[in-house]
């Protein structure tokens, strides 16, 4: 990965407190309810994270763009309008001083090669988190990506050095490095969750399974796809969010973790399984599309 210098800090260092390892459990901090803020709560993953927090009797604080129309399903939660690209100075207080921030927001997807990831998203998200931790936020969990691993193949350990080949992967890996360095200035724990491939209701229409479903609904007789022999790591989004939220609530420590199944499956098998489960009648046109050049043929996460 090309070296990326940390974004210069523009915040005054708050006085560091003595570190205390505190485990909040799933509901309370001392005698009060735990406060968890979530960015990107209206996205595919975010909606499931909110559901998991609700299951744990935690009502999250939802950080959304001011222009976002809040869905009815989320309207009973506290919503804080903040533009991450142009945030105010008092982010932490606006978020009602949460105990934990689960940072899922990120723009520019699914274009993994766009320069906006490095030029726009990276500096904006660093400034957002820097502002919060400089004001008192002590526990941060950020969604990373398996694209940080680049062309490394086989079983991928979270201890591997990031070697991204896409702008998206490089931006995420750079944010991780910058936040690690920021810990020398401010007292906060950082949990970095590298997400592999998720599947479930509500995911983006360009993902393989929603594309397959759309073809079936359209009455297509064949489904155009690659050769399908590439091995990937897929995890139902409900399982992913359970792991992600559990990780976020293990406060007071810093770590990197893969959010994955640990079990490789070929894309062809994934598609064939879905067709069989749904009883669909559609033929696979294998080899119609070339294999992606920015991913290895075989990779999956190590738990």
Are 228 and 157 members of one domain? Answer: no
Do 153 and 208 reside in the same domain of the chain?
A: no
Query: Residue 29: what pLDDT?
Result: 58
**Would you give the distance in Å from CA 283 to the centre of its chain?**
33
Q: Are 82 and 127 in a shared domain?
A: yes
**Confidence (pTM):** 0.89
Per-residue pLDDT, 30: 54
If you ran DSSP here, which 8-state letter would residue 285 be given? E
pLDDT in tens, 237-295: 999 999 999 999 998 889 999 999 999 999 999 999 999 999 999 999 999 999 999 99
**Average pLDDT for the chain:** 90
Is the Cβ–Cβ distance between 198 and 239 less than 8 Å? Answer: no
Over residues 171-201, the pLDDT tens digits come to 999 999 999 999 999 999 999 999 999 999 9
Residue 34 class from Cβ within 10 Å (0-12 exposed, 13-18 middle, 19+ buried)?
Answer: buried
Q: Cα dihedral sign for 255, 92, 184, 119?
A: positive
Residue 73, domain extent: 28-198+234-259
Q: Is the pLDDT of residue 223 over 90?
A: yes
Say if residue 186 is in the same domain as residue 283.
no
Q: Would 105 be classed as within a structural domain?
A: yes
The DSSP result for 94-124, as a single string, is HTT--SEEEE----STT-TT-THIIIIIHHH
Residue 128 backbone class (left: φ over 0; alpha: ψ -120 to 50; beta: rest):
alpha
Residue 300 in domain = no
pLDDT tens-digit readout, 24-33? 334 555 556 8
Residues 255 and 268 in one domain: no
Residue 9 lies in a domain: no
Task: Identify whether residues 250 and 274 lie together within a single domain.
Answer: no
Q: Flag whether 20 is in a domain.
A: no
pLDDT at 252: 86
Measured distance CA(148)–CA(172) in Å, rounded: 7
> Residue 196, preceding bond cis, omega within 30 degrees?
no
Query: In terms of domains, do 212 and 169 share one?
Result: no
Residue 215 lies in a domain: yes
Q: Do the domain assignments include residue 296?
A: no
Beta bridge partners of 234: 197
Ranges of beta strands (E only) in the chain are 28-29, 32-33, 36-39, 61-64, 78-81, 100-103, 139-145, 154-156, 189-195, 197-199, 222-224, 231-236, 255-259, 264-266, 283-285, 299-301
Contact 104, 41 (CB under 8 A): yes
**179 and 283 belong to one structural domain:** no
CATH of the domain at 114: 3.40.50.720
Neighbours of 238 (CB within 10 A): 14
3-state secondary structure of 271: helix
**Cα of 79 vs its chain's centroid, Å:** 20
In a domain, 64, yes or no: yes
CB 40 within 8 A of CB 106: yes
Same domain, residue pair 223 and 141: no
User: Are 100 and 213 contained in the same domain?
Assistant: no
* Domain annotation covers residue 251: yes
Residues 221 and 240 in one domain: no
Number of Cβ within 10 Å of residue 218's Cβ equals: 7
Residue 11 — very low, low, confident or very high, per pLDDT cuts 50/70/90?
very low
Residue 41, pLDDT above cutoff 90? yes
**d(Cα 214, Cα 203) in Å, to the nearest integer?**
13
User: Do 187 and 64 reside in the same domain of the chain?
Assistant: yes
DSSP assignment letter at 182: H
What pLDDT is attached to residue 50? Answer: 97
Both tokens of residue 43? 């996205």
Number of domain units in the chain: 2
Q: Percent of the chain, pLDDT > 90?
A: 86
CATH number of the CATH domain containing 211: 3.90.25.10
């Amino acid at each position: 990965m090309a070296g990326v210098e940390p974004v210069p800090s523009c915040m005054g260092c708050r006085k560091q407190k003595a570190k205390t390892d505190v485990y909040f459990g799933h509901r309370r901090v001392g005698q009060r309810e735990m406060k968890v803020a979530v960015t990107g709560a209206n996205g595919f993953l975010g909606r499931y994270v909110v559901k998991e927090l609700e299951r744990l009797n935690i009502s999250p604080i939802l950080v959304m763009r001011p222009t976002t129309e809040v869905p009815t399903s989320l309207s009973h939660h506290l919503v804080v309008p903040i533009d991450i690209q142009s945030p105010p100075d008092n982010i932490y207080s606006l978020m009602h001083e949460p105990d934990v921030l689960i940072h899922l927001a990120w723009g520019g997807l699914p274009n993994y090669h766009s320069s906006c990831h490095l030029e726009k998203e990276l500096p904006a998200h660093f400034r957002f988190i820097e502002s919060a931790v400089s004001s008192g936020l002590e526990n941060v969990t950020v969604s990373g990506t398996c694209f940080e691993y680049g062309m490394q193949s086989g079983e991928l350990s979270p201890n591997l050095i990031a070697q991204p080949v896409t702008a998206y992967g490089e931006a995420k890996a750079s944010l991780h490095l910058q936040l690690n360095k920021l810990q020398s200035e401010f007292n906060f724990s950082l949990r970095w969750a590298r997400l592999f491939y998720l599947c479930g209701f509500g995911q983006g229409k360009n993902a393989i399974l929603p594309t397959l479903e759309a073809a079936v609904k359209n009455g297509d007789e064949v489904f155009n796809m690659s050769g399908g022999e590439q091995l990937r790591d897929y995890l139902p989004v409900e399982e992913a969010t359970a792991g992600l939220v559990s990780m976020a609530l293990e406060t007071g420590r810093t770590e990197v973790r893969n959010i994955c199944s640990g079990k490789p499956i070929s894309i062809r098998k994934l598609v064939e399984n879905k067709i069989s489960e749904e009883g669909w009648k559609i033929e696979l046109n294998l080899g119609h599309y070339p294999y992606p050049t920015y991913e290895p043929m075989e990779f999956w996460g190590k738990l």
